[in-house]
Amino acid sequence: MESSAKSALGRFRSGTEIVAFGRMFLFAAIVPLIARLPVPAVCWVLEPRGKLPVPQAGAIGRIVADMDTVLRVGPPLVQRRCLTRGMGLYYFLRRAGLEIDLCFGAGFVDSTFAAHCWLERSGKPFLEQRDPRRTFATMYRIGPAISMEPGVPEPR
């Protein structure tokens, strides 16, 4: 294992942290399979059921840092793409109690058709360096107030 991967993984001190990271790694590895499902099934897989916890700042930061580590050390088992990052963060942040939406959009980048996946919180891009909505039109959104039927939002 290269030294940067060793140092990235060296921050895990407890069995609980290692298991949580392993779950995230495995989830990230199967994102391409989840993405092949029909949209209602993707919603069913990603959206948690039952009462969610109150989000804790430390837990949110840890999830984001762990996903960054998965994307850094995961290839070739984990694809380093916005889809992996977006679906992975959505899955784990929702289970940590965060109210976010997962958005899928399409547009043109340098005259070439492209697609992108990103998170939004309170109607604004979340954990994005630039606002993807300037380039990509939102084609589909998955979120806590979105029904399992594509394109039919439930009242918030």
Query: Which 3-state string (H, E, C) describes 51-108?
Result: CCCCCCHHHHHHHHHHHHHHHHHCCCCCCCCHHHHHHHHHHHHHHCCCCCEEEEEEEE
- HSE toward the beta carbon, residue 138, CA cutoff 13 A: 16
**Confidence grade of residue 129 (pLDDT, cut at 50, 70, 90):** very high
Phi-psi sector, 110: left (phi>0), alpha (psi -120 to 50), beta? left
Q: Is the pLDDT of residue 125 over 70?
A: yes
pLDDT at 2 (0 to 100):
59
- Cβ atoms of 10 and 21 within 8 Å: the answer is no
pLDDT at 118 (0 to 100):
98
Say what the pTM is.
0.86
The average pLDDT across 124-131 equals: 95
pLDDT at 7 (0 to 100):
66
**Confidence grade of residue 146 (pLDDT, cut at 50, 70, 90):** low
Give 31-58 pLDDT, tens digit per residue: 999 999 999 999 999 999 989 999 998 9
| Sequence letter at residue 136 | F
Give 91-121 pLDDT, tens digit per residue: 999 999 999 999 999 999 999 999 999 999 9
- Cβ atoms of 122 and 150 within 8 Å: the answer is no
The average pLDDT across 4-31 equals: 84
